[in-house]
Amino acid sequence: MNVLVWFKRDLRPHDHPALARAAGLGAVMPLYIVEPEYWHLPDTSARQWAFTAEALADLREGLGALGAPLILRVGEAVSVLDRLCRQHHIARILSHEETGNLWTYARDRRVAAWARGAGVIWEELPQQGVIRRLGSRNGWAGQRDAFVGGPQVAAPAALRAVPGVEPGAIPSARALRLADDPCAHRQAGGRQHGLALLDSFLTQRGEPYRAAMSSPLTGERACSRLSAHLALGTLSSREVVQAAAARAAERPGGRWPGALASFQSRMAWRDHFIQKLESEPRIEIRALHRAADQLRPLAPDAARLAAWEAGETGLPFLDACMRYLRATGWLNFRMRSMVMAVASYHLWLDWRATGAVLARRFTDYEPGIHWPQVQMQAGVTGINTIRIYNPVKQGHDQDPTGAFTRRWVPELAAVPDPFLQEPWKWPGARAVLGRLYPEPIVDVAAAARAAREACWGLRKERGFREEVAEVIERHASRADPRFVNDRSPRPRRRADAAQMSLDL
């Protein structure tokens, strides 16, 4: 029997149940389809493709060593699959369940319809602690833990390739006609880079994780930096969870126990949020609480949106974070929350527009985490507290020396330290603002006050709380110490900040 293994967001040979099953059935055709329509969506980008292309090259080498190099085709999925199955007498396709964006959800429905009509068996296997067709959140955490705690699936010792198949080239971003997207400090893709990061985090970099993850100064090194590898599946979440558990079992001293516990908790939160999108794919375009869809203008203020995206708002720390993101493809968790919250509250921009900007900037874009988190920071879930970050205060708290702000906003070199985060208060501001650097596009305090009044006003409207109960039933966490306060509209404790954005 010839079996096709369709790789998507699972670019690894190890702990790959679909590949392992296929190896036991017959000759294997490992396939990745480059879908041009997907790569021209508002939430995808050339930086993501560059990371993906590196991962594909690494996967091709790994599969080639096993005997069946990766086959690459460019085109629409149904057409590609239909042609290959006909040409090579394939009646069975194996892949992993994918929780992607709304476009991939619609594509998979088309593929399923084609497979039924063509008489091709398409079997999808789970690859993480996310459960398809979940009826209720009750008991979900236990099911998730059972999966990630289960045995890893070793890569096949060897693969028998389907003969006579041209491998196909990995196209460049230019060949795909992707918009130019310079990202000078982007992470490198491929499983070998992911394994190196996992090892260095668990043995060297990770000890200050719990305290250092909040600041862009310290988070760049202290965070695991595994998020892009998990998003694309060059590492499996199960092997990461088990590696962290094994390290904790060694009982390392110092700050390691707290760091490893925090990391494990965030890995659990990762599956928790992806489950939300799996259960409700339209989270990408529709607010969890329907009344909140009318909170902000659907057509965002174009000038404000452009200034925010470019890091030209006149709010120094916010601009520094957005410029850093543009240059690296990554941002630490608290700053992800801050840039989204300021866009939503102070600039009063619709979450769908700003969410798409961040999605294509993040090399580690994971739709199942991203869109629920975007809604959470925009205050449109109905079940989470309204958290309005003050960008000036965040600058003082997270960049106390001003080193990060000065690096990414060099126009402020002449501004004295006491005025760096509020240069409009500096007596010499006229020499800089409006010339080298823009005036602030909003009054921070006044904008926050107006947003707070509008958001709490919506929550007081008739019928709001009744729909909250429905959202809690569908998406909120249950009684598990790792998932506290996921459903309370009341202000949460400081410790709850750990769930704000799961970049790991």
Q: Strands 27-34 and 90-96, how do they pair?
A: unpaired
Predicted pLDDT of residue 482? 59
The mean pLDDT of 39-44, rounded to a whole number, is 98
Confidence of residue 473 (pLDDT cuts 50, 70, 90): confident
Asked whether the predicted pLDDT for residue 145 surpasses 50, the reply is yes
Q: Which residue has the tokens 């679909």?
A: 18
Q: Strands 121-125 and 27-34, how do they pair?
A: unpaired
Asked whether the predicted pLDDT for residue 483 surpasses 60, the reply is no
Phi and psi at residue 121, to the nearest 5° = -85, 120
Predicted pLDDT of residue 478? 60
Measure CA 466 to chain center: 31
- Tokens, residue 411: 């126009």
Give the Cα-Cα-Cα angle 171, 19, 7 (nearest 5 degrees). Answer: 30
- Determine the length of the chain: 504
Q: Which residues have a Cβ under 8 Å from the Cβ of 315 and sit 6 or more positions away?
A: 342, 391, 392, 440, 441, 444
Round to whole Å and give the CA distance between 444 and 437. Answer: 17
Confidence of residue 294 (pLDDT cuts 50, 70, 90): confident
164-203 pLDDT per residue, tens = 999 999 999 999 999 999 999 999 999 999 999 999 999 9
Round to whole Å and give the CA distance between 389 and 377. Answer: 10
Predicted pLDDT of residue 156? 97
Do 101 and 284 contact (CB within 8 A), yes or no?
A: yes
406-445 pLDDT per residue, tens = 999 999 999 999 999 999 999 999 999 999 999 999 999 9
Predicted pLDDT of residue 488? 40
Asked whether the predicted pLDDT for residue 467 surpasses 90, the reply is no
